[in-house]
Amino acid sequence: MTDAARHSGGAANGSPSGPPTIYVEGVSAPTFPELSESSRADVCVVGGGFTGLSTALHLARTGRSVVLLEAQRIGYGATGRNGGQLHSGQRRDQVWLEDKVGRDDAARLWELAEAAKDLVRSLIRDHDIDCGWTEGLIEAAHTRAIFDEERDYVAHLADRYGVGALSVLDRDQIAEATGSDRFVGGFRDASAGHLNPYALACGIARAAEAVGARLHEGSRVVRIEATGQGKRRVSTATAHVDAETVVLAGNGYLAGIEPSVEARVLPINNYVVATEPLGPERMQRLIPGGECVADTRFVVRYWRPTPDNRLVFGGGETYTRRLNADPAAVVRPYLAEIYPDLADVPIASAWGGTLAVTRHRMPFIRRVEPGLYAGCGYSGQGVGTATFAGKVLADGIAGDTGALDVFARLPVPSFPGGTLLRTPLLVLAMSWYALRDRL
């Protein structure tokens, strides 16, 4: 992916392509035409990932006319390249949220996170999406101090929120559950799980089209401008859409489109590998319960088994404008650290992708100004949050602003340094946290 494509969300030559991952294997992906003629719509959605697709689906269900513009193919960005994990809770834990927004909003945010999991499961069920949904997630603590915090947190969730799906794992139990002796303890979440994210995106796209949304691929947005009377014109290189409402759902791929949104999110690159099939017996020794796993390092490592017994393993970040040309070289040391026996395992596929983080890692979901909405900055927890953000935005546009108001009250400040200095400042900060991971 060229530097130009990295920032515009499209191929430099304008030819759309899907994500370069194993997720595309066996998935019958829908195709949608380029926007070749100008048109009108009640709502124009920019971005064909989880947020944009979910927004289009839920708005089209209300009878509104919706046009979605995607620069590449549906699921091209973080949606089709992530680890496929569906977590409980928000990106920051409830203790942090209680301190920052108060107990009432913190409780509401927990309820919304639970609703996000329910939404993903209902989309899979109602639209018969074959995405390999598997229940169970393990969080593995890499230090005693963090394990002690986790144990207290599980008790806190049970006492204050009535959560009964989490069970604490001691050192022996976490070793048995993950096939690794690198962890002090952790917990199992029976209400979370994992899936093929690209297959999920394709299924939501089909559902959106079926209820009347008009989806266009290979249609990179180059400009959004007000046209008077409360309307906006969303332009590609060849045509435009005039709409009363615009939803920005491009996450880390919207540089230069809307400065007020861009200032609050920062694109970073993450890397993933998929092994050759390991066979059922070997996979059973690694993760006997079939759960996905994430550790507690600041630069998180995460992994999961696939239905054909591959291990999808992610780890490592870069903060430059270009993806690393050798993703396998970035990830393999992390894989070998946790699973020494897999140090030389054949890698079938390796890829990088761009996600967007906010300063406090909580998402930016809100009405930016009348007629302009945004959902972005999921900070590595987008399978559930981004999909749910689409429904929240759609509900808000339709007049039900309850959930949107809760997210709008979250503190999501701009990054310091402006467009010139914020990336170097981020590199310094991230390098410190990565060093702390190794101490």
Q: Are strands 347-357 and 266-275 parallel, antiparallel or unpaired?
A: antiparallel
What is the per-residue pLDDT for 243? 98
d(CA 128, CA 120): 12
- Angle at alpha carbon of residue 150, lines to 92 and 193, rounded to 5°: 70
Closest CA to 320 of 270, 366, 281: 270
Domains of the chain (ranges plus CATH)? Answer: 3-81+198-263+360-423 (3.50.50.60)
What is the per-residue pLDDT for 363? 96
Q: Is 430 exposed, middle or buried, given 0-12, 13-18 or 19+ CB atoms closer than 10 A?
A: middle
Structure tokens at 301: 């490592």
Residues 6+ apart with CB under 8 A from 428: none
The DSSP bridge partners found for residue 66 are: 43
Return per-residue pLDDT of the chain as tens, 439 residues.
Answer: 222 222 223 333 344 667 999 999 999 999 999 999 999 999 999 999 999 999 999 999 999 999 999 999 999 999 999 999 999 999 999 999 999 999 999 999 999 999 999 999 999 999 999 999 999 999 999 999 999 999 999 999 999 999 999 999 999 999 999 999 999 999 999 999 999 999 999 999 999 999 999 999 999 999 999 998 889 999 999 999 999 999 999 998 887 888 889 889 988 999 999 999 999 999 999 999 999 999 999 889 999 999 999 999 999 998 877 899 999 999 999 999 999 999 999 999 999 999 999 999 999 999 999 999 999 999 999 999 999 999 999 999 999 999 999 999 998 988 876 665 555 665 665 554 455 545 5
How many beta carbons lie within 10 A of that of residue 299, not counting itself? Answer: 16
What is the per-residue pLDDT for 7? 27
Structure tokens at 82: 């992530």
Closest CA to 348 of 317, 310, 304: 310
Max Cα separation, the chain? 65
Residue type at 175?
A: A
How many beta carbons lie within 10 A of that of residue 333, not counting itself? Answer: 11
321: left (phi over 0), alpha (psi -120 to 50) or beta: alpha
d(CA 215, CA 217): 7
Positive or negative torsion for Cα 125, 130, 136, 138:
negative
pLDDT tens digit string along 361-408? Answer: 999 999 999 999 999 999 999 999 999 999 999 999 999 999 999 999
What is the per-residue pLDDT for 418? 61
The string over 263-277, giving b where at least 16 C-beta atoms fall within 10 Å of a residue's C-beta and e elsewhere, is bbbbbbbbbbbbbee
d(CA 64, CA 45): 12
Residue type at 54?
A: S
What single-letter DSSP state applies at residue 414? P
- To the question of pTM greater than 0.85 for the whole model, the response is yes
What is the per-residue pLDDT for 12? 31
Residue located via tokens 């987008």:
382
R_g of the chain, CA atoms, integer Å? 21
